[in-house]
Structure 1
Amino acid sequence: MRIKSIILAALMVMAFSMTASATSMTVKGSTTVLPIMQKAVEAYMKANPGISISVSGGGSGNGIKAIIDGSTDIAMASRFMKDKEVKLAMEKGVYPVPFAVGIDALVPVVHPSNTVAGLTRAQLKDIYQGKITNWKDLGGIDKKIVVISRDTSSGTYETWEGKIMKKERVFAGALLQASNGAVVQAVSKNKYAIGYIGYGYLDKSTKALTVDGIEGNPETASSGKYPVSRFLYVFTKGWPKGETAKFIMYLLHPKYGQAHAKAAGYVPLY
C-alpha cells in the first residue's frame, strides 16, 4: 500500500534526524485519539524508565491550538488542520507536521433499549437540525428525541458536521458534551437520547446504529465503505527530533503503536 511506503519512509528519515533525547514530553488534544495515546504512553514509559510523558484531552481544536502556541510537544486530532489554523501557525513561524496514527469509524449510538437499529445520513442530518424530533417518525416509540452532540472545539464534531450535516450547523437544542466519554455517559442514562462517538468508545452501555445500512467496524472503516470513517492524527511542531521523534516512530510501528491502536478499538494503518 502507498500509505505504508510513505510511513516507512518517514520512519527512516526520522531515524536519521534524532538528536539528544529529552526526558519529558507533553501531549494534548483529541479525546478520540486519547485511548490510543494512553496505551502507547504507558508502554513507552515502561520500556523507557527515564522518560515522562503527560497526556490530556480537551478536544482536537485545543490540541492544535497548543501545538501552535508551543504549550505541547504533540497534538492529538481526530481531523486535519483547518486552513485558518495553518495560516495562524505560519504567521507565528510554526510548521505543524501531521502523522496519521489510526483509522476510526464515527458511530451514532442510542440507549440499549431503543428499538431503532439504523438510520440514513439524511435522517441523522434531520435529527441534528431539529427537523425530526420524535422516535416514532423513525420506527421507534412515541417519545421526543434527546439530541446529544460534541462541542464545536472537537474534531469529532467537525467530522460529523462535514460528513453528516454537510457543513450545516447542529441545531441549538442539542446538548453539547466535551468528550466521547461524556457522550457515552449521557446516552447510557437517557432512553430517548442519540449521540455519536469514536468506534473505540463503543461498549455495552450504548447501542450502535448502522448508517445507510452499513455497520461501522474496522473492516468497513479501513475499506472506506462506512460513510463516517476518518483518519486520526498527531501533529508535531516542525519535524520531530530527539525523544519526540522516537515516540512518533513508536506510534507508527506496526508492532507497537499500531498494535495499541487496535487494542484501543481503532483500525491500525497497516
Structure 2
Amino acid sequence: MCDETFKLIMKKLLVVISIFSLFACSDNSSVKMKGSDTEVNLAVNLAEQYTKVNSDFSIAISGGGSGLGITSLLNGQADIANSSRPLSDKEIEQFKKANIEVKTVVFAEDATAFIVHKDLPLEEIDLETLGKILKGDIKNWSEITDIDLPINIYGRQSSSGTHSFVKKKLKIEFSNAAKEMTGNAQILEGVKADKSGIGYVGAGYVSHEINSNALIKILKIKEKPNAVAYSPIDTETINNSLYFFQRPLYQFVLAESWHKVKPFIDFEKSAQGKKMIEEHGYYIIEEK
C-alpha cells in the first residue's frame, strides 16, 4: 500500500472516529432527573423553558418519589434526584461507602396541603385530630362533623418524601387502611370522586389550578384546637413560617455531573426561573 493511499484511509478513519465521539459526547451530555412527584410538574416546565434558551440542553425527567430518585442517583441511573426531604443518615452513609460525592441544591419551598371533598362540612383541623384520622383512630367523619361517612385516606407509598414528611411531623404510623397512591394526581382525583376522602398533596400542585380543582377543599391547619388556623396557599403565612407542614425542596446532584447540570440550576435561580417557581404555587428561598 502506497503512502498516499494509507494517509487517505487514516484520514477517513479519523473522521469516522470524530463523528462517533461527537455522538457519544452528545448522548453523555443528556441529563437524567428522577424523584419527587411533588416537584416533577415544576421541573418539566422549567426544563421546557430552559431548552428554549439553550437548544443543546437535553434532559429526561420522571417522578416516582424522592426515595426512588435518591436510589437512582446512588445506582448511577440519574444525574439529579428531586427530593421533598433531606437525605437520611442511612442514605448519607450509602453515598460515602460508594465514594459518591453529591451536591445539595435547595431551589424552592413547598407546603403540604390536606384536601377533602368540597361537600365535607370541614374547613380546618388541628394536628391531634389530623393525626388520629391518618393513623386510623378516628374512622368516621361523624366523630368530628355532622356527616356520617366512613373516612377514606388517600396517601402515598413509603418511598414518597411527602409520606415520610407527614409521618415525621405528626409522629404517627399511617393506618393500614390508607390507600397508597402513586402521586399527587391520583390522590387529587381520588378525593374529587370521594365525599368521604382525605388526602395530602403538594400545595403547589393544587394552588395554581384552584379553579380546575373546584371539587376539593384545602383544609386550614392549626397546631392546637384553640390556635389560629393557617392555609398552605397563603403567601404571607409561608413567608412568616407559620404553616406547620412547610418544607424546603431539594435537588441532589452527582458532583461528576455538575458541569452539565449547573447551567440548568442557574436558570432555576434566574429571574425567569424564580417567576415560574412562584407561578406554580411554590415559594422562593432567598439566599443569605
Q: TM-score, normalised by structure 2?
A: 0.82
Amino acid corresponding to residue 158 of structure 2 in structure 1: T
- Residue matched to 1:79: 85
- Residue matched to 1:194: 198
Per-residue CA deviation, residues 194-248 of structure 1 (Å, 9 max, x unaligned), is: 0011111223232100111111123222321001100011010127532211111
> Residue 84 of structure 1 aligns to a residue in which SS?
helix
- Displacement of 1:96: 1.7
Q: Does 1:210 align with 2:220?
A: yes
Identity among equivalent positions (%) equals 29
- Residue matched to 1:220: 237
Q: Alignment partner for residue 171 of structure 1, among 136, 151, 175? A: 175
Correspondence 1:6-45 to 2 at 5 A: 23-45=29-51
| More RCO (CA 8 Å, sep 6+) | 1
- Residue matched to 2:54: 48
Correspondence 1:1-270 to 2 at 5 A: 23-164=29-170, 166=171, 168-202=172-206, 203=210, 204=213, 205-212=215-222, 213-217=229-233, 218-238=235-255, 241-253=258-270, 255-270=271-286
Cα contact 1:27–1:76 (8 A) shared by 2: yes
- Displacement of 1:257: 2.2
Amino acid corresponding to residue 283 of structure 2 in structure 1: V
Write the distance in 2 (CA, Å) between the matches of 1:150 and 1:251. Answer: 27
Based on CA coordinates, which of the two structures has the bigger radius of gyration?
2
Write the distance in 2 (CA, Å) between the matches of 1:29 and 1:140. Answer: 40
| Superposed CA RMSD | 1.6
Q: Which has the higher helix share?
A: 2
> Residue 101 of structure 1 aligns to a residue in which SS?
strand
| Number of corresponding residues | 248
Deviates most, 232-241 or 111-120: 232-241
> Residue 63 of structure 2 aligns to a residue in which SS?
strand
Write the distance in 2 (CA, Å) between the matches of 1:215 and 1:140. Answer: 23
Write the distance in 2 (CA, Å) between the matches of 1:152 and 1:128. Answer: 14
Per-residue CA deviation, residues 161-199 of structure 1 (Å, 9 max, x unaligned), is: 1112x1x31010111111111110111111100001111
> Residue 33 of structure 1 aligns to a residue in which SS?
helix
Q: Which runs of 5+ in 2 are unaligned?
A: 1-24, 223-228
> Residue 235 of structure 1 aligns to a residue in which SS?
strand
